[in-house]
Amino acid sequence: MNLILLGAPGAGKGTQAEIICDRLNIPAISTGNIIRAAMKNGTEMGKKAKEYVDAGNLVPDDVVIGIIKERLLEDDCKNGFILDGFPRTIPQAEALDSMGINIDRVISIEVPDNKIVARMSGRRVCAKCGASYHTEYKKSKTEGVCDFCDGELIRRKDDEPDTVLDRLNVYHEQTEPLKDYYAKTGKLRTVEGQEEVADTTKLTLAALGL
Ligand code: ADP
Ligand code: ZN
């Protein structure tokens, strides 16, 4: 199954992507994670991306399209994949279409803006391995410490309250039009994001016919 997860920053698409990944045994591909890893490793791409990411803007289409083209060629994508955070613009969706890849379903996780802002303040990531957490919805076993690598849990620079509002605007302007794009092909399903992760998961799986 080839899936796309859409949603505002902080709507919980990353968490759902990981759950579906375990359940269907297909990779979850997060352009955000790939870009953050490149920034941390100081690669050419990471250096180019940093100014956009830190300001809450989108990284240029040609950069992310290049990342996805390479990633989808890898062996583990043969039986399907979950795209988390790609496409985020109409040109990205068109690029995906022109790669000749058939998308089976697009799930849009809907959370109202006022809840997004509150949720984002609780988001944390591991400074060492990049695993994501939430102080309320996805707690680590020990507060402030990563379950996987004992790394320190920090707030992403682009999760600071000022940047969050910019990212929400970017989402409404550039990413939300994708709902129409995929509704026209009959592939879009919307899921109301719930308080409890498990409740959202039930709705997501139902939307996938699972
Ligand atoms: P969130 O989890 O909040 O939705 P991501 O981790 O997916 O955020 O992305 C973080 C940042 O990485 C974005 O704000 C943007 O700057 C960049 N980015 C990620 N995916 C894309 C994309 N498909 N197109 C452009 N920029 C992207
Ligand atoms: Zn870690």
pLDDT digits (tens, 9 = 90+) for 124-148: 999 999 999 999 989 999 999 999 9
pTM for the model: 0.94
Q: Rounded to whole angstroms, how far apart are CA atoms 145 and 133? A: 10
Closest C-alpha to 91, from 58, 65, 52: 65
Task: State if residue 31 touches ligand 1 by the CB under 6 angstroms criterion.
Answer: yes
Task: Give the number of the atom of ligand 1 that is nearest the alpha carbon of residue 33.
Answer: 6
- Domain coordinates in residue numbering, the chain: 2-26+79-111+169-207
Closest C-alpha to 83, from 20, 173, 164, 41: 20
Catalytic residue among 13, 36, 105, 124: 13
Burial class of residue 143 in the structure, from the number of CB atoms within 10 Å of its CB (0-12 exposed, 13-18 middle, 19+ buried)? exposed
Residues whose CB is under 5 A from ligand 2 (ion)? Answer: 126, 128-129, 131, 146, 148-149, 151
Active site residue 13: yes
Active site residue 23: no
Closest C-alpha to 61, from 40, 90, 98: 90
Q: How far is the CA of 24 from the centre of ligand 1 (A)?
A: 24
pLDDT in tens, 38-66: 999 999 999 999 999 999 999 999 999 99
CATH of 2-26+79-111+169-207, one of 3.40.50.10190, 3.40.50.300, 3.40.50.11030, 1.20.140.10: 3.40.50.300
